[in-house]
Amino acid sequence: MKDTTNATPVVLVTGGSRGIGRATCLAFAKAGYDVAVNYAGNEKAAEETAAACRALNPEGRFSIYRADVADADAVDALFKQIKTDYGRLDVLVNNAGITRDNLIALTKPEDFDAVIATDLRGVFLCMKAAGRMMMRQRHGRIINVSSVVGLRGNAGQVSYAAAKAGVIGMTKSLAKELGRRNVTVNAVAPGFIQTDMTDALDDKQKAAASQDIPLNRLGTPEDVAGVIAFLASDAAAYITGQVIPVDGGMAI
């Protein structure tokens, strides 16, 4: 998105080192944004994302930032550093997430807590920090990565579904809080996307999953990144509080 200045817009993508996060970083680099790539542990992958962004946009600024989004102090430090480095934040993409999938009878409370901490609390912490900056700027875009599982549930994913459904509730609530400050808040709900999480499935499982998808294929990270980039664009300036499934029709 753009404001009344001529400054290059800045986007922060959490979990930007791989999968949907990396594809999103590349989409914004291609669109002319400066990109702050957040990662939790894999510095090499984050550097590879930043390098790929530079190849697409040699004039842009692409920095990596290590921070656990579930840690309130780490999130505060992250946003302060982005403010120091870039002076602004136009778009936040909350993409960082983990899974600890299991049937509820076999799910350990600590595994449930870990998923909630990253996938729900992490989104809350980042939205709170970004919201402060964007309210002062009187413009901004927040885009949260939820999941089709947050809309329809899935056996063996109680913790993940709880977190992703919570993200949808927070998205709608914050959209009502920030709308008068020209800040939009939306979510995307990916279905089966070809990422590290789905790489654990064998070909038979992937084929079975595809049968439940009207478009008869798994999605790509680029499918999701394109929708995220659209929600950050001027074309989406009158869209807020919405959840857009990117699932090939799976949630129909």
Give the distance from CA 147 to its chain's centroid. 10
DSSP labels, 51-94: HHHHHH-TTS-EEEEE--TT-HHHHHHHHHHHHHHHS---EEEE
Neighbours of 91 (CB within 10 A): 27
* Tokens, residue 50: 């930043």
33, 65, 160, 238: which is the annotated catalytic residue? 160
> Does 160 qualify as catalytic in the annotation?
yes
Give DSSP secondary structure letters for 10-41. Answer: EEEETTTTSHHHHHHHHHHHHTT-EEEEEESS
The end-to-end CA distance of the chain, in Å, is: 30
Under 8 Å CB-to-CB from 216, ≥6 apart: which residues? 210, 248
Distance from C-alpha of 168 to C-alpha of 100, rounded to nearest angstrom: 20
Cβ 141 vs Cβ 124: under 8 Å: no
Instruction: Give catalytic residues, as residue numbers.
Output: 160
